[in-house]
Amino acid sequence: MSESIESKGVRAPRLLVMGVGSSGARAVSGMSELNPDLDAVAIDTDSKALAALTIERTIHVGATVTRGLSSGGDVELGRQSIEQDSSSIRKQLREVDLLVIVAGLGGGTGSGAVPVITRIAREAGALVLTLLSTPFKFEGVKIARIAEESLKRARTHADAIIRIPNERLVDRVDADLPVEQVFARSHQVMMDGIFAVGRMLTRNGVCGLDFASVHTMLRNCDGFCHFASADGAGEGRADRVAETLLTHRLLNKGKLLENAAGIVIGLTGGHDLKLSEVEIVMNKLREKLPDDVWLNFGVAIDPAFDGRLSAITLVAEHWNEPLVDDGNRQLGLSFNRGAPGQAELPLESAGKGEFAYVDPTIHNNQDLDVPTYIRRDIKLPR
Ligand SMILES: Nc1nc2c(ncn2[C@@H]2O[C@H](COP(=O)(O)OP(=O)(O)O)[C@@H](O)[C@H]2O)c(=O)[nH]1
Ligand SMILES: [Mg+2]
């Protein structure tokens, strides 16, 4: 992180990655193997699955609800498990500025727990970014429905959801891959995403991108954003990185760029990174992007990237400008970009202030300190 920030006495933003459910926990455990400095915790109902992971910090939830046997695909059990242990989740969230939640939706634990965790994190005042995979078609309609329902609920509280349809990770060319390897690939994509966001927030930038710009993006992106990364090395790497992004599967083969409302572009290179290379990537992307797109980009130099160029993008399809931005929470009315004058009143849960870390009033696995409409996920009429 930047020395100038620290010398001014400003605390560097703290990023915590939380893997929820078996695939989320596995993905996060894999990440911390690759990067032991990553502040990460794995959460699952399945005590055996947790014990098999290499990650140091794990939280087993719902011991009495599931008797340690996992949620068995039951979303309600997943929800109850996390409600039961919500105070351990709250403890993890102290002083966390950005919480990144990683989960594969479609099972019981991740799908049930993620919406609850997003709510708790928001109440604790953290910015919440969720990276959620949605099931393959071959997993069937029921699993797909579970995932959609969970996404809808998570949407109520998360600042931004990066949805990664597992289907988009697979090319016809690799349809012959063993299923296990395909899942491993989905973990890899999530890992790239988190590393990239972490890198943008904590590395020394030579220009532009910092917590504030990612913050703006996540606050304004109307709930969903897309993510893609690209890497290149050696001669012509800038062209290749740009080309990869312009045709990226996670950006719908680049079509999402054409209609993007907002985009954050983070480039990381070594000391050998040339201005002309930055220009190549930026110009090629700009050619595809609409003129009025909200764009923020940054370049970070990291000696570990000598000889390489790495780019990540967060792309928003819709943009909500807050009328009042207190730098912490959006207040007041916000407007959907392009929508015909339809105003939207964000029903945000107020923070608990100094009571944020006080244990909640739990009755029948429900946190009674949370307003009923939030607990029951009731949409109030606009
Ligand atoms: N079974 C399985 N599913 C995976 C894996 N990686 C990602 N997934 C996806 O994650 C979804 C939820 O699975 P899982 O995390 O095991 O469920 P949970 O533990 O109940 O939250 C599945 O429907 C898959 O789409 C994997 O390695 N195995
Ligand atoms: Mg499981």
| Domain CATH number, residue 98 | 3.40.50.1440
- DSSP line for 159-205: SEEEEEEHHHH--GGGTTS-HHHHHHHHHHHHHHHHHHHHHHHHS-E
Average pLDDT over residues 31-57: 91
Residue 172 and residue 265 in one domain: no
Residue 298 and residue 196 in one domain: no
Question: Bigger pLDDT: 17 or 4?
Answer: 17
Residue 244 and residue 99 in one domain: no
CA distances from 349 to 57, 256, 338 (A): 29, 31, 26
CA 231 from chain centre, in angstroms, equals 20
Residue 182 and residue 288 in one domain: no
Question: Bigger pLDDT: 13 or 84?
Answer: 84
Question: Bigger pLDDT: 187 or 49?
Answer: 49
Question: Bigger pLDDT: 238 or 37?
Answer: 238
The answer as to whether 380 is a domain residue is no
The last residue of one of the domains, among 255, 287, 316, is: 316
Looking at residue 296, which CATH number applies to its domain? 3.30.1330.20
The last residue of one of the domains, among 146, 169, 202, is: 202
Atom of ligand 1 nearest to the CA of 183: 6
Question: Bigger pLDDT: 346 or 307?
Answer: 307
The answer as to whether 210 is a domain residue is no
Beta pairing, strands 330-336 & 320-325: antiparallel
Q: Tokens standing for 286?
A: 């700009």
Nearest to 280 by CA among 307, 311, 304: 311
CA distances from 208 to 143, 200, 273, 288 (A): 42, 10, 16, 21
The last residue of one of the domains, among 288, 316, 344, is: 316
pLDDT on residue 7: 45
Question: Bigger pLDDT: 76 or 220?
Answer: 76
Atom of ligand 1 nearest to the CA of 180: 27
- Give the whole-number percent of the chain exceeding pLDDT 70: 75
Nearest to 314 by CA among 201, 162, 127, 152: 162
Q: Please state the domain count of the chain.
A: 2
Ligand 1, residues 22, 105, 142: which to mutate, most atoms within 8 A of Cβ?
Answer: 22
pLDDT, tens digit, 9 for 90 and up, residues 178-209: 877 877 777 777 777 777 766 666 655 566 56
Residue 42 and residue 116 in one domain: yes
Question: Bigger pLDDT: 149 or 204?
Answer: 149
pLDDT-based confidence at 332, cuts 50/70/90? very low
SS3 content of the chain, % helix, strand, coil (to 5): 45, 25, 30
Which residues are near ligand 1 (CB < 6 Å)? Answer: 21-24, 71, 104, 106-110, 133, 135-136, 139, 143, 166, 183, 186
Residue 159 and residue 247 in one domain: no
Across the chain, what does the average pLDDT equal?
80
Domain with 143, as residue range(s), is: 13-202
pLDDT, tens digit, 9 for 90 and up, residues 296-331: 888 888 888 899 999 988 899 888 765 443 344 332
